[in-house]
Amino acid sequence: MQHGKYRFIVGFLAAPMAIYALFVIWPFIQSIYYSFTDWTGLSPEFKMVGFKNFERLFSDEIFWKSLQHSLLFVLLLPLVTLGLALFFAFMLNVGGRHRKESAISGVRGSSFYKIAYFFPQVLSIAIVSLLFAFAYNPNSGAINSALQAVGLDSVQPEWLGDPNLALWCVMAVLVWSTVGFFVVLFSAGMASIPKDFYEAALLDGASRVTTFFRITLPLLWDTVQSGWVYMGILALGAESFAVVHIMTVGPGGPDYSTTVLPLLVYQKAFRDGQAAYATTIGVALLVVTLAFAAVVMRLGRRERLEY
């Protein structure tokens, strides 16, 4: 009986695992292999060069600047995005507890707010990037026009043209475009928490802050941890690449102030014809991503709470 069960499991998983190995694992292995060559990406001919690409990587100032920006993304974006999402979700589900018809409820108009917060998810990241690129325009953009309308004519930043502001502008767009997804995700998790817990805390005189940290956050911790890893992968992957590539000058400018690792991989492979060096940067990006996921899963490990 047991033998038949294991044969069924193996037979059921064989095809999906083969597809995963072919389209996910094998490209990783190829990338690692090509990082030890001088392949240009344009010619089928290449030769092994050993660790020369990695030696070049460690002495490349643009790589270190890009790595710094990517690490800033992966540290701050999950913190800000998930923090805002938890706050909004808590207010939409529990924050309006003083309403007469129910001791525990969301703020008035919470259904509308959920739709409003989720709306950016309907738009593609390319559309969002284009819209904000127009909004950040220092001459005719909506942001500087609004500042001028309220009498702040002297405050007219260059936004994406200022090396000190450009990276923060890009990060703000990523937060705006992703926070709604996590609001809905956390709202679904909070809806599954028994109302009795909140009502008991309310009778004991607990404040909103105490209720959040003593009830909501511990019971949502697994969801928050998964969201943290997911948001970190987005910050290190396609989302950051798309926003920087579409919004910034260069792209990656001014003066490499917004260059991130995925963009650098793209530029080296398709602009400069240095595919082998691009795969070397990709290997470094893989190491950073795996290290980030491992650290989050390790530091976020705690006893699972049942309810």
Q: Show Cβ contacts of residue 241 under 8 Å, excluding neighbours closer than 6 positions.
A: 260, 262, 263, 266
Rounded to an integer, the average pLDDT of 179-196 is 87
φ/ψ of residue 22, rounded to 5: -70, -40
Q: Name the average pLDDT for the chain.
A: 86
Reduced 3-state DSSP string for the chain = CHHHHHHHHHHHHHHHHHHHHHHHHHHHHHHHHHCCECCCCCCCCCCECCCHHHHHHHCCHHHHHHHHHHHHHHHHHHHHHHHHHHHHHHHHHCCCCCCCCCCCCCCCCHHHHHHHHHHHHHCCHHHHHHHHHHHCCCCCCHHHHHHHHCCCCCCCCCHHHCCCCHHHHHHHHHHHHHHHHHHHHHHHHHHCCCHHHHHHHHHCCCCHHHHHHHHHHHHCHHHHHHHHHHHHHHHHCHHHHHHHHHHCCCCCCCCCCCCCHHHHHHHHHHHCCCHHHHHHHHHHHHHHHHHHHHHHHHHCCCCCCCC
Taking residue 38's Cβ as centre, other Cβ atoms within 10 Å add up to 16
pLDDT band for position 263 (50/70/90)?
A: very high
Burial class of residue 56 (count of CB atoms within 10 Å of its CB; 0-12, 13-18, 19+):
middle
Domains along the sequence of the chain with CATH: 57-299 (1.10.3720.10)
8/169: higher pLDDT: 169
pLDDT band for position 103 (50/70/90)?
A: low
pLDDT digits (tens, 9 = 90+) for 128-153: 999 999 999 988 889 989 988 888 87
- Angle, CA of 269, 271 and 273, to the nearest 5°: 50
The pLDDT value recorded for residue 4 is 65
Residue 277: pLDDT above 70? yes
Q: b/e per residue, 281-300, with b = 16+ CB within 10 A?
A: bbbbbeebbeebbeebeeee
pLDDT digits (tens, 9 = 90+) for 55-99: 999 999 999 999 999 999 999 999 999 999 999 988 888 776 554
Rounded to an integer, the average pLDDT of 270-293 is 91
The pLDDT value recorded for residue 104 is 67
pLDDT digits (tens, 9 = 90+) for 223-239: 898 889 889 888 888 88
